[in-house]
Amino acid sequence: MLAEAIAVNTDAPVNNSEAKIWDNAHVMRTYARQPVEFVRGEGVYLYDASGKPYLDLLAGIAVCAVGHCHPYLTCALQQQSATLLHVSNLYLTEPQARLARRLVELSDFERAFFCNSGAEANEAAIKIARKYGRGIRESKTNIVTALKSFHGRTLAAITATGQPKYSENFAPLPGGFQYVPFNDVEALKAVVNEDTCAILLEPIQGEGGIHPASMEYLRTARELADHHGSLLIFDEVQTGVGRTGKLWAYQQYGVIPDVMTLAKGLGGGVPIGACLARGAAAETFVPGDHGSTFAGNPLATTAALAVLDILADENLTENARRVGAYLTSRLGELQQKFPALIGGVRGMGLMLGVEVFQSAARKIVAGALDNGLIINATGDDTIRLVPPLTLAEADVDRAIELLEKTLASLRM
């Protein structure tokens, strides 16, 4: 009977309008959906039910780091799902231990806590910071974060997020968070003190519009944390796993945080997050302090191991650096051709933000989608490009063609 159901599912014609009706009626309205339904992905392309290809420069929001349906990742998932999916964290499973060892070998950290998302990784980091601080002094509980940051959607994460629009409808919020303007060294110096348990920063603000921290800013954050006995936490949920042209963005700055949070690209599309820590921060949690039923299960950790294998085997971190530089230079040509619409490019590797004039970002995103190009707007003034790290220079040429066609049709 189950075999029959599987056969029926695979053969069923995809009916766009039916799914749309169900979605409208029965899925909570947390997303304003783009007018397209994808049914399949391969490499850097997604396909709708009519078979129309879309070149994907968004990668599920920096998630599909190795592209869609990479055969090695698919095979690893097929094998693991036929072997063992889940047993809970009451028992040891090899893939989780292997992933922790791999992440530690590839970074400057000593231990990992696994979870299922970026927000959860930050929750873990926030709980570590609070327990660490209170262990020193009861008043050492303040967490300093940046304005225009984004740290996720749980209550603590929206409170850490320095953008009131994410939290104002959900008060009362957890206390003990302080906000500073990003990249303002003096403001950071003014607020961090002995009651600061942690400074939490994105090395490159992603949702806030692709704004890299300055070298001086992150170095100052490290010095202040050391001076006041606070933890330095980097939220690398978006910047981590090769995206910026180094495996971790902190390596771009030569500043090693005490805690680093990961998610998005780590599982290549399978939900997994991680909170990595070193020193005292790595030893703060003891049994009973924190946990998650699904976290680090054999399927999710196998996915992350496969992603890390592919990254190394295909030199994708180096590819992000090289193709990112090429994409940046080709976008510079577009800026010359459309100076009234397109400004400068910010970011590193394959995490790029294109400045857009006349608040046209959403209009450009919609036009590009029609033309078979997936890009994304963070606000009205920035186009965000976070493509698969497998992107090739020929894909960039195609993307620029499609973007040029889109911009020409806007005639602004």
Point out which residues bind ligand PLP (CB under 6 A).
117-119, 122, 150-152, 202, 206-207, 235, 237-238, 263-264
Nearer to ligand PLP, 208 or 372 (CB): 208
- Whether residue 381 lies in the annotated active site: no
Q: Least distance to ligand PLP from the beta carbon of 206, Å?
A: 4
Alpha helix stretches (DSSP H) within 287-315: 298-313
Candidates 114, 264, 285, 338; catalytic one: 264
- For residues 276 and 260, the answer to whether their CB atoms sit within 8 Å is yes
Closest approach of ligand PLP to the CB of residue 204, in Å? 9
> Which helix (DSSP H) or strand (DSSP E) does residue 379 occupy?
none
3-class DSSP assignment, residue 178: strand
| Annotated catalytic residue, options 109, 113, 114, 150 | 150
- Alpha carbons within 13 A on the beta-carbon side of 143: 28
Nearest CA to 72 out of 405, 365, 303 is that of 303
Structure tokens at 184: 């303002």
Q: How far is the CB of 350 from ligand PLP (least distance, A)?
A: 14
Nearer to ligand PLP, 347 or 372 (CB): 347
Q: Toward ligand PLP, which CB reaches closer, 118 or 367?
A: 118
178 or 378: CB nearest ligand PLP: 378
CA distance 136 to 131: 9
Tell me the residue number closest to ligand PLP, measured at CB.
118
Does 264 participate in catalysis according to the annotation? Answer: yes
Q: Which of 235, 246, 285, 395 is catalytic?
A: 235
- Residue 150 designated active-site: yes
Q: How far is the CB of 67 from ligand PLP (least distance, A)?
A: 19
50 by Cβ neighbours in 10 Å (0-12 / 13-18 / 19+) ranks as exposed
Identify whether the C-beta of residue 353 lies closer than 8 Å to the C-beta of residue 346: yes
Residue with tokens 């063992």: 84
Q: Which is nearer to ligand PLP, 206 or 324 (CB)?
A: 206
Task: State in angstroms the smallest separation of the CB of 205 from ligand PLP.
Answer: 8
Please, what's the b/e burial string for 68-91 (b: 16 or more CB within 10 A of its CB; e: otherwise)? bebeebeebbeebeeeeeeeeeee
Nearer to ligand PLP, 146 or 407 (CB): 146
Closest CA to 43 of 402, 401, 405, 389: 389
Residue 155 Cβ, how far from ligand PLP at the closest point, in Å? 13
Please list the active-site residues.
Answer: 150, 235, 264
